[in-house]
Amino acid sequence: MSRRQLPAPELFQAAVNGDRSALARLLSLIERGDDDARTIGRLAYPLSGSGYTVGLTGAPGAGKSTLTSSLIGHLRAQDLEIAVLAIDPSSPFTGGAILGDRVRMQDHATDPGVFIRSMATRGHLGGLSLATPEAVRVLDAIGRKWILVETVGVGQVEVEVAGKADTTIVVVNPGWGDSVQANKAGLMEIADVFVINKADRKGVEETSRDLMQMLDLSDLPHDTWRPPIIPTTGTTGQGVPELWDAVLAHREYAESSGDLRERRAFRLREELREIVATRLGRRARQICSGERWDQLTDAVVERSTDPWTAADEMLAAVDA
Ligand SMILES: Nc1nc2c(ncn2[C@@H]2O[C@H](COP(=O)(O)OP(=O)(O)O)[C@@H](O)[C@H]2O)c(=O)[nH]1
Ligand SMILES: [Mg+2]
């Protein structure tokens, strides 16, 4: 049997044993989101929990992929094994942006200590918010201690996906104050660490001041953790060690304050709610078709019943 046809549990075992192509296949199944994804989710959950996720988010072109690549270099120099997920909700699998990321990350392509994967879910954002934590969990379950997740922080849903990391880095550029591409309020809310990337350009100090002002004005509980602001130049790696130190400091804070445990619990509750909602949605689509459905809609159209009574009847069949 070729690997392509291996059942999900065998693929999972192969991935746990270090088979990278099995891992890639698992992530494709998760992306697809059908029964296999659920099987994988059940297998991965008990083995997960020791990995730590670091999210990088920000407007397109802010330099997230470039920074990620620099971070990989920094972490590999310390012999840390990492996985990188690049999430792009808008690009199809072979899209230009993803290809660009692959090319940029090619330096690390042959390093067994690094696993890089782009994910997209064909414009279905609900799917993405379920697929992302599941993919992270698989990488965690196979033993990656650091999982970097790059997401484009443009709209509300994307920012929500981005905010699901243990530590979230928000990447901005000098002059961010003038840009309208990013969901600024949302990004402010999820930032644990700010990066002003492209610090080789002018305007770093103004942007830093703007950010500090925004932090001062926001009513977030920054008395416990105030996001540091780190200038970086992704293309040269300048500032990357400082960025990583800030991530480590946030991790330490999150672990010792109980914030991490609280965040993870909150995330799991949200995820569970979403799983239930997704399943109910699917069930709703199933029952809103077929013979009984046709009869009831006809009855409503002919005014022999009203929509509310008809809905009660449909739902009675589900509850039973
Ligand atoms: N001048 C300058 N350009 C950068 C820097 N970091 C990234 N870039 C460039 O900005 C462009 C977008 O970078 P990319 O990493 O693809 O951004 P992403 O869309 O946020 O992932 C690329 O052409 C990079 O080479 C930097 O620190 N300084
Ligand atoms: Mg990118």
| Same-domain status, 115 and 198 | yes
| Same-domain status, 120 and 72 | yes
- pLDDT range class, residue 104, cuts 50, 70, 90: low
Highest-pLDDT range among 104-108, 112-116, 179-183, 235-239: 235-239
| Most informative mutation of 57, 66, 202, 232 for ligand 1 (most atoms within 8 A of CB) | 66
* Nearest Cα to Cα of residue 8 among 130, 318, 23, 68: 23
Atom of ligand 1 nearest to the CA of 69: 15
Count the Cβ atoms, other than its own, within 10 Å of residue 113: 14
**Helices 64-76 and 96-104, packing angle to 10 deg:** 30
Atom of ligand 1 nearest to the CA of 171: 20
- pLDDT range class, residue 153, cuts 50, 70, 90: confident
279 within some domain: yes
Instruction: For residue 54, list its beta bridge partners.
Output: 148, 167
264 within some domain: no
| Same-domain status, 148 and 29 | no
Ligand 2 mean position, distance from CA 64 (Å):
5
> Could you tell me what percent of the chain has a pLDDT over 70?
86
Ligand 2 mean position, distance from CA 60 (Å):
7
Count the Cβ atoms, other than its own, within 10 Å of residue 211: 20
| Same-domain status, 35 and 62 | no
| Same-domain status, 118 and 228 | yes
* Nearest Cα to Cα of residue 135 among 103, 164, 94: 164
Question: What is the sign, positive or negative, of the torsion defined by CA atoms of 75, 79, 81, 83?
Answer: positive
Count the Cβ atoms, other than its own, within 10 Å of residue 184: 18
| Same-domain status, 78 and 153 | yes
Residue ending a domain, choose from 224, 257, 290: 257
Give yes or no for residue 60 CB within 6 A of ligand 1.
Answer: yes
| Same-domain status, 19 and 140 | no
* Nearest Cα to Cα of residue 191 among 217, 213, 216, 220: 220
| Most informative mutation of 87, 151, 235 for ligand 1 (most atoms within 8 A of CB) | 235
CA atoms within 13 A on the CB side of 268: 11
Structural domain harbouring 42: 1-47
CA–CA separation, 10 vs 22, rounded Å? 9
- pLDDT range class, residue 319, cuts 50, 70, 90: low
Ligand 2 mean position, distance from CA 66 (Å):
7
| Same-domain status, 33 and 142 | no
Domain count, the chain: 3
> Over 60: is that where the pLDDT of 95 sits?
no
Residue pair 8/29 in contact by the 8 Å Cβ criterion: yes
311 within some domain: yes
CATH code, domain with 216: 3.40.50.300
Six token digits for residue 44: 């991965």
Residue nearest to atom 2 of ligand 1 (CA): 198
151 within some domain: yes
Give yes or no for residue 237 CB within 6 A of ligand 1.
Answer: no
265 within some domain: no
| Same-domain status, 42 and 65 | no
Mean pLDDT on 267-277: 90
Ligand 1 mean position, distance from CA 63 (Å):
4
290 within some domain: yes
| Same-domain status, 13 and 105 | no
Ligand 1 mean position, distance from CA 198 (Å):
7
What integer best gives the mean pLDDT of the chain?
A: 86
- pLDDT range class, residue 4, cuts 50, 70, 90: low
| Same-domain status, 11 and 147 | no
DSSP per-residue letters across 145-184: SEEEEEEE--SHHHHHHHTTSSEEEEEE-TTGGG--SS-H
154 within some domain: yes
Residue 130 vs residues 45, 100, 138, 160: alpha-carbon distances, Å: 14, 25, 13, 11
155 within some domain: yes
CA–CA separation, 310 vs 295, rounded Å? 10
| Same-domain status, 231 and 173 | yes
